[in-house]
Amino acid sequence: MDSFEINKIVACVLVVALVFIGLANFGEILYHVEKPKVAAYQVEGAEEMVIDASMAVAEESVPAEPAVSIQTLLASADIEKGAKVFKKCSQCHVLDKGGANKIGPALWNIVNKDIGAKEDYKYSNAMAAYGGQWTYEQLNGYLLNPKKYIEGTKMSFVGLKKEKDRANVILYLRSFSDAPAPIE
Ligand code: HEC
């Protein structure tokens, strides 16, 4: 075997190796699958659900802090839409004057009232100890994500993710009072 033949053999081996590598990459290109950016099982409008403790999973998707000031939102809120939103609350709350507590405390005259302070209702320790008043800001924060806003609250409600829903329902709550609190 002379050196010319050895060269040919070496060249052959190299060509085979190159073709092999090329094919492998080509396969990658053909069969490479992009992972979807958004998981297919995400549920739109999950915040619409009224949940009980057994369905508490959806809570994680709700942000912790409201983005826009509630005063700004209240200025353009719609009380009739608020009445509709309140249907989500009405399984646990009544608004009428002198209304009885249900699963949750009665909410007559709730704006600016002391938090967790109804004598005839047994609050969670978390809410009883929270302190302060239900200002518009507090209501806005609590209703966005009750379990994050007051950790340990026993209100099993996922929260209202839409700013407008919160503003509308707060405007509606406000109207259940002999002297509704000023908006400012
Ligand atoms: C599944 C029942 C349930 C639903 C639905 C629910 N709540 Fe509650 N809510 C409660 C319970 C229980 C408490 C008492 C929480 C505690 O003691 O930690 C509470 C407490 C409150 C408080 C504090 C009252 C106080 O006396 O300090 C407000 C305000 C409130 N809820 C508003 C709402 C609004 C508005 C909605 C609807 C958007 C709503 N809740 C939906 C059960 C519920």
Model confidence at 9: pLDDT above 80: no
131 CB burial (10 A radius; 0-12, 13-18, 19+): exposed
pLDDT at 148: 97
Dist. CA 68 → ligand 1 center (Å): 22
Dist. CA 99 → ligand 1 center (Å): 14
User: What end-to-end distance do the CA atoms of the chain give, in Å?
Assistant: 99
* Contact by Cβ (8 Å): 161, 144: yes
Model confidence at 54: pLDDT above 50: no
Which one of 92, 143, 144 would you pick to mutate in the ligand 1 pocket, going by the greatest count of ligand atoms within 8 A of its CB?
Answer: 92
Model confidence at 67: pLDDT above 50: yes
170 is written with which tokens? 């707060």
Model confidence at 49: pLDDT above 90: no
Q: Tell me which architecture the domain covering 46-175 has in CATH.
A: Orthogonal Bundle (1.10)
pLDDT at 42: 56
Angle at 111 between CA 110 and CA 113, to 5 degrees: 65
How many whole angstroms separate alpha carbon 91 and alpha carbon 113? 22
97 CB burial (10 A radius; 0-12, 13-18, 19+): exposed
Model confidence at 30: pLDDT above 60: no
pLDDT at 23: 64
Listed in sequence order, the residues at least 6 apart from 103 whose beta carbon sits closer than 8 Å to its beta carbon are: 91, 92
39 CB burial (10 A radius; 0-12, 13-18, 19+): exposed
- Ligand 1 binding residues, C-beta < 6 A: 50, 88-89, 91-93, 103-105, 107, 110, 115-116, 118, 123-124, 126-127, 134, 143, 153-157, 160, 169
Confidence class for position 94, pLDDT limits 50, 70, 90: very high
Which one of 89, 102, 165, 169 would you pick to mutate in the ligand 1 pocket, going by the greatest count of ligand atoms within 8 A of its CB?
Answer: 89
Could you state, in order of their start, the residue ranges of all structural domains in the chain?
46-175
Locate the ligand 1 atom nearest the alpha carbon of residue 50 and give its number. 5
How many whole angstroms separate alpha carbon 172 and alpha carbon 96? 12
How many whole angstroms separate alpha carbon 125 and alpha carbon 136? 22
- The model's pLDDT over 125-171, given as tens digits with 9 standing for 90+, comes to 999 999 999 999 999 999 999 999 999 999 999 999 999 999 999 99
How many whole angstroms separate alpha carbon 173 and alpha carbon 182? 13
Give the global pTM: 0.72
pLDDT at 24: 67
The amino acid at 87: K
Residue nearest to atom 2 of ligand 1 (CA): 92
Q: What is the mean pLDDT of residues 96-113?
A: 98
